Amino acid sequence: MALRRVGIIGSGNWGSTIAKIVGTNVHLLNNFQKEVRMWVYEEEVDGKKLTAIINDQHENVRYLPGIRLPTNVVATPDLCYAAQDADVLVFVMPHQFLQRACTQIKSVLKPGAYGVSLIKGLALSNEKGIRLLTDLIRDELQIPCGVIMGANLASEVSLENYCEATIGAKDLAIGRELKMLFQTSYFRMTIIKDEVGAELCGALKNIVAVGAGIIEGLGYGDNTKAAVIRLGFMEMKSFIYQFFGDRDPQEGTFLESCGVADLITTCYGGRNKRMGIALATSNKSLQELEKEQLDGQSAQGPLTASEVYVMLERLKLLDRYPLFTAVHRICTRELPATGFVRCLEDHPSHM
């Protein structure tokens, strides 16, 4: 029987962490080729190519310094070389590059291959407003695509601290193979069929985290923060049922790592919460705050809030999502941060 192969598309801190795990696991699996190719966006570090450094030193000195990668993980700057021959394509890259990557690898795909996305975010679409990143992969490449989502800070996972993740895969055979490839003694996996719900939780939670930050910045205590997190959670759920109800979302998904655990982690740490605090404690624009605090990078939450806002406005549903709506308006400075709590007083969840 031909041995199967994994290709990893991406090599940031999460991609490199995942390469460490998958590289270690395939070593122990009889039905997989030992070599795992990892696509690296080529750049120079101290005058040397990053791929060369990774292949010589077995460390991604740029994005995951200090963590040894297994020697069977092979870095390549050639996207097609990383993808061709792979039965399992692991997408773990910034979401803005996904479309281009799909276009590039389309023609070299191995028949029968499937994808798994570890990317948290949304794409824009003209019809619906937002589009799942996995739908982009599915449509563009004509392959099935699962997700792995959860409360996973790369830095902690790479240090082998105990945590969990959720595998979302409609096809149970795919779910089981992904579990074999990704689970370790410290990185524990639950398989669910609701790949759409899992992916959407991963994207929408960032809006809630901005809200949690705003509340913290305004000086409220744990009670109010817990209320905001929960109301955001309820809006995530409503949104998923409202716009993706035809794709069989499951209530149980919200209690998985991709749901409640990722939400908690994000609302107590991370850049989206930080942006929320900054919005509540200064009068500067979001862009200025991102420049000051995130080196000019964008936080995902305000972006997702704005995409979701456009959809809700078009369908006249803003009053059913007061938290999502208020977060967006605070991000654009239409609404002062101090007006946030007032917006939650008549929440539909209390009707």
User: Which residues lie near a second copy (CB under 8 A)?
Assistant: 151-153, 156-157, 161-164, 183, 185-186, 188-190, 220-227, 229-231, 233-234, 237, 251-252, 254-257, 260-262, 264-265, 268-269, 341, 344-345, 347, 349-350
CB of 125 to a second copy, least distance (A): 29
CB of 41 to a second copy, least distance (A): 26
- Taking the C-alpha atoms of residue 27 and residue 236, their distance in angstroms, rounded to an integer, is 39
The residue annotated as part of the active site, out of 20, 193, 205, 225, is 205
CB of 172 or CB of 315, closer to a second copy:
172
**The pairing of beta strand 36-39 with beta strand 6-9:** parallel
Based on the residue annotation, tell me whether 205 is a catalytic residue of this protein: yes
Sheet holding 163-168, edge to edge: 73-76, 36-39, 6-9, 88-91, 114-117, 145-149, 163-168, 187-192
Question: Which residues does the annotation place in the binding site for NAD(+)?
Answer: 10-15, 97, 154, 271, 300
CB of 208 to a second copy, least distance (A): 12
CB of 129 or CB of 259, closer to a second copy:
259
Question: Which residues does the annotation place in the binding site for substrate?
Answer: 120, 271-272
What is the Cα 246 distance to its own chain's centre?
Answer: 22
Backbone torsions φ then ψ of 238, nearest 5 degrees = -55, -45
Virtual CA dihedral for 174, 179, 180, 186, nearest 10 degrees? 170
Residues counted in the chain = 351
Question: Which residues does the annotation place in the binding site?
Answer: 10-15, 97, 120, 154, 271-272, 300
Place of tokens 């795909």: 109
CB of 261 or CB of 299, closer to a second copy:
261
**The pairing of beta strand 114-117 with beta strand 122-125:** unpaired
User: What tokens appear for 147 in the block?
Assistant: 């997700």
Backbone torsions φ then ψ of 166, nearest 5 degrees = -115, 130
Helix or strand or coil: residue 158?
Answer: helix
CB of 214 to a second copy, least distance (A): 12
CB of 180 or CB of 234, closer to a second copy:
234
- Taking the C-alpha atoms of residue 99 and residue 105, their distance in angstroms, rounded to an integer, is 10
CB of 78 or CB of 160, closer to a second copy:
160
CB of 107 to a second copy, least distance (A): 38
Residues marked as catalytic: 205
